[in-house]
Amino acid sequence: MIRSLYTASTGMFAQQVNMDNIANNISNVNTVGYKKSRVAFADLLYSKLPAPRTGPNETTLQLGSGVRVTATVRDFSDGGVLHTDQLLDVALSGNGFLAVTVDGKTAYTRSGSLQVSGGKLVTTGGHPVLDIHGREISIGNGVSQVQIDENGNVIGVTGNSDAKTTLGQVGVARVPNQHAMRAIGGNLFVSNEQLDIGVPGRDQRALLMPGFLEMANVQVVEEMVNLITAQRAYEVGSKAIQASDEMLAQANNLRR
């Protein structure tokens, strides 16, 4: 009888983690470039119990011990786009990421809300964006009206003239094993794979959409349905514990 208490408790703990993950998805519904995640479950070890012989062969009786959370799986499908008409906003359409430098290391993001700061093209978090060669894009002094075109070219006007100068080209990085990437916050992911960066739109890389931002790929209605399902599963687990407790109480109250 005690086994059912522990088995049901594993289900409640797993659903609590599931609800925490769903809450995180919902809270980031308006986060630019956010990719939703889901929780993966796996059953725990099974115990082989003695079973009565009902025929020429002995039957096998196995009893599970509950469930556990094995991983959170990230969904890297494209999200909807929002038209901002800002010169330094870019949305990615397809497979790929913007590569940035974080504390001397390479990180990846789908957030294309860019700006000029400290003479470099950076994200809103202040991380320098890398070009098609894996180098930071510098914006010299006296450069104004910086914008990005559909090919990733960073174009600016120098001095008092109207002549436009190409300052660099934003690169798009591919990560073959996206599910091995680790989120570190701030719309950033890291990977142990070697940097593979190149020209947008080539070699199956994502296209750039200037003047747009990619929004989160979170569907609120879907997440609400998942939340209700997790809540009901949590409730059923608590009912199982309550039923086991009542059965134990009846066994303890037996009289001759």
pLDDT of residue 1: 57
pLDDT of residue 57: 67
Q: What is the pTM of this model?
A: 0.86
Q: In angstroms, rounded to a whole number, what is the distance separating the alpha carbons of residues 153 and 206?
A: 15
Q: Choose among 108, 123, 125: nearest CA to 182.
A: 108
Provide φ and ψ at 75, rounded to 5°. -100, 110
Q: In angstroms, rounded to a whole number, what is the distance separating the alpha carbons of residues 91 and 3?
A: 52
Q: Are 157 and 145 contacting, i.e. CB atoms less than 8 angstroms apart?
A: yes
- How much is the CA Rg of the chain, to the nearest whole Å? 27
DSSP, res 58: P
Domain spans in the chain, listed from the N-terminal domain onward: 2-75+218-252, 81-214
Per-residue pLDDT tens digits for 238-252: 999 999 888 888 888
Q: In angstroms, rounded to a whole number, what is the distance separating the alpha carbons of residues 107 and 90?
A: 18
Spatial neighbors of 249 by CB under 8 A, at least 6 apart, are none
Sign of CA pseudo-dihedral 78, 31, 190, 149: positive
Q: Choose among 99, 109, 87: nearest CA to 154.
A: 87
**Residue 154 identity (one-letter amino acid):** V
Chain centroid, CA 15 distance in Å: 19
Q: Are 237 and 11 contacting, i.e. CB atoms less than 8 angstroms apart?
A: yes
Per-residue pLDDT tens digits for 79-120: 999 999 899 999 999 999 999 999 989 999 999 999 998 889
DSSP, res 25: H
Structure-block tokens of residue 256: 């001759």
Q: What's the whole-number mean pLDDT along residues 42-52?
A: 84
**pLDDT of 141 strictly over 90:** no
Q: Choose among 59, 64, 46, 116: nearest CA to 86.
A: 116
Per-residue pLDDT tens digits for 109-126: 999 999 998 889 999 999
Q: Choose among 139, 140, 114: nearest CA to 127.
A: 114
Q: Which secondary structure element, helix H or strand E, spans residue 106, and what is its range?
A: strand 105-109
Per-residue pLDDT tens digits for 212-246: 999 999 999 999 999 999 999 999 999 999 998 88
Q: State the chain's mean pLDDT as an integer.
A: 90
Q: In angstroms, rounded to a whole number, what is the distance separating the alpha carbons of residues 132 and 172?
A: 7
Per-residue pLDDT tens digits for 145-188: 899 999 999 998 877 667 788 899 999 999 989 988 999 999 99
pLDDT of residue 54: 66
